[in-house]
Structure 1
């Protein structure tokens, strides 16, 4: 009989996280999954999503792994996008994702999601692929993320928006032209102008 722990370890080490259906397909029975979690050999991050103990916390990617596994085409935005780009020292306890104005918000039990609704035009603009485990998710590019921070300043705080703009320019993570482009798209050009002119 094949060892269920060995099967689970091999799959999770290859993919970063595994859904229960993938583990069952690989040969681990659902009852064995429960026993592996109870024994501390597996960590259940969310309903149907498993990792090896210690692996997730070492990388700080637990929440993103679950979102990548449990939601269709997630788009990271605002604080989660800033974190991906290394433009904030904060580690948001929520995963920030953007959805369309008429889309249904995903329902998962963990991690906490902060869902931001955007128009179709701004939702699809400035997306870059990011590898999370074996999945690809999208995150807003640096310039779009900064413009979004100004647009959604009531959610993230004006201080966060200004800090993101300053750090993006100081580190050469984007250009002034790109920032203007997304500022106009997000209709915050007038708001961003004095900060851009002072920092550029």
Structure 2
């Protein structure tokens, strides 16, 4: 699970996504899902597993989902696609809730995704 769906499950945004957002490695077949409405994002295979954790969707059933730090970095990277307001609205709650450990995770994830130049000014602005 990724994008807006993961941001909502991490309670980083108040929006209720109109579709379920899932990620698949770039170069693989995109799944055909008739219901519920689904948006498929493709990520580079080398970064596909970065920041993945398990989320309990139902008792005894878990699904892979990007962790909060990865979601915030991806939201900032893709802010032209998902909207800058949504991306910035996820950053504030993440920084307030995650404390120092969370703040230190952002540069690590951003470095791995070559997005440090995008994350650093936004984090500094929110923390100022």
Deviation per CA, 1:69-89, whole angstroms, max 9, x where unpaired? xxxxxxx11111111111111
Q: Say whether 1:149 aligns with 2:75.
A: yes
Q: Over residues 43-74 of structure 1, what are the superposed CA-to-partner deviations in whole Å (9 max), with x where a residue is unaligned?
A: xxxxxxxxxxxxxxxxxxxxxxxxxxxxxxxx
Of stretches 128-137 and 84-93 in structure 1, the one that deviates more from structure 2 is 128-137
1:85-100 to structure 2, matched below 5 A, reads 85-100=10-25
| 1:79 matches 2:4 | yes
Equivalence for 1:123: 48
1:177 aligns with 2:104: yes
What is the root-mean-square deviation of aligned Cα atoms in Å? 1.4
For residue 155 of structure 1, report the CA deviation from its aligned partner. 2.1
**1:137 matches 2:53:** no
Relative contact order, CA 8 A, sep 6+: which one is greater? 2
Q: Distance in 2 between matches of 1:121 and 1:159?
A: 28
Bigger-Rg structure (1/2): 1
Which residue pairs with 2:94 in the alignment? Answer: 168
User: Which stretches of structure 1, 4 residues or more, deviate above 2 A after TM superposition?
Assistant: none
Q: Deviations over 1:17-44 (max 9, x none)?
A: xxxxxxxxxxxxxxxxxxxxxxxxxxxx
- Asked if residue 104 in structure 1 is aligned to residue 38 in structure 2, the reply is no
Which aligned pairs between 1:31-70 and structure 2 lie closer than 5 A?
none
Q: CA deviation at 1:127?
A: 0.6
Q: Which whole-Å CA distance do the structure 1 matches of 2:33 and 2:68 have between them?
A: 27
User: 2:116 maps to which residue?
Assistant: 189
Q: 2:46 and 2:81 mapped to 1: Cα distance?
A: 20
TM-score, structure 1 as length reference: 0.59
How far does residue 135 in structure 1 lie from its aligned partner after superposition?
A: 2.4
